[in-house]
Amino acid sequence: MAYSKVTLTIFVFSCAFLLTTGLKNAVINLDETNWTDMLNGEWMVEFYAPWCPACKALESVWKDFGTWSEDLSIKVAKVDVTVSPGLSGRFMVTALPTIFHVLNGEFRQYKGSRDKDTFISFIEDKKWKLVEPVPSWKSPASIQMSIVSGFFRLSQILRQIHTQLMEDFGLPTWGSYLIFAVGTIFLGALLGFLLVCCIDLIYPPKTTGKVNDIKSKVDKKADKNSGDELADEDIKDDLIDDQEKDENNSQSDSEVKEKAGSNPNSPVVKKRKPRKE
């Protein structure tokens, strides 16, 4: 009877110890649905991939570091970029593993040694103050990075469709690429058409110039009998004046030639007409 009580007591304490250890070892998993939780409080977040050798080497260290989260008054989390590709685009993760320190929506990338003591010192000694925060235009919470995140998610969807076309439907690689090319051309043409329609709605073409031209033509036709006669008379007067000028010029040239013929040594000099003032 006493033996059973001792066994029961040991069992209870063992369960309590394992439960406490398990809770302390728990590292929060973040994804597309709950990543905004890191905007409140202080966090250390690791971006990893299951196939990454460096991430596998850091896994045990990161779990061990997670046991210190309560003592450091922080939260330790991790993000699988293969499950949440949008977050890799939002945080511009270009290498794995990548670690971020987050304090109330202010992001800093950790670039120190990847061991537990260095992580603890980074938080306890507030060494994160020596690291420049991510600029506002690159902040993962900004609108532009949300757009980038959408493109990353779209690329992941297209990759899955490409894999499905080859594996489930047996299409060759070039066949899948051809389908994507035709779809891209069609989508580009559709977006271009919509863009032109939006521009026409915002900035409609001006028609006042054409209307004025039509009105002027109508006015000319209406005044044809009166206006054209006056214009014809002016043209006739100008022609007559030009003919008289040509005759006078020809007469003066002939007189000059006759004078030059009487005196062969004298040069031919043409008189310059006086300018009309």
Give 187-199 pLDDT, tens digit per residue.
Answer: 788 888 888 888 8
Q: Which domains does the chain have, with CATH numbers?
A: 23-135 (3.40.30.10), 144-202 (no CATH)
pLDDT on residue 216: 65
Q: Got the DSSP string for 142-162?
A: SHHHHHHHHHHHHHHHHHHHH
pLDDT on residue 135: 92
Helix (H, G, I), strand (E, B) or coil at 34: coil
pLDDT on residue 269: 47
pLDDT on residue 19: 45
Q: Are 160 and 142 in contact (CB under 8 A)?
A: no
Enzyme catalytic residues? 52, 55
pLDDT on residue 219: 60
pLDDT on residue 48: 96
Nearest residue to 32 via CA among 80, 72, 102, 84? 84
170: alpha, beta or left? (left if phi > 0; alpha if psi -120 to 50): left
pLDDT on residue 120: 95
Supply φ then ψ for residue 133, to 5 degrees.
Answer: -70, 160
pLDDT on residue 230: 46
Q: Are 85 and 156 in contact (CB under 8 A)?
A: yes
Q: Are 166 and 173 in contact (CB under 8 A)?
A: yes
User: What whole-number distance in Å separates Cα of residue 81 and Cα of residue 76?
Assistant: 16
Positions in the chain whose pLDDT score sits under 70 = 1-25, 156, 159-160, 162, 180, 206-277
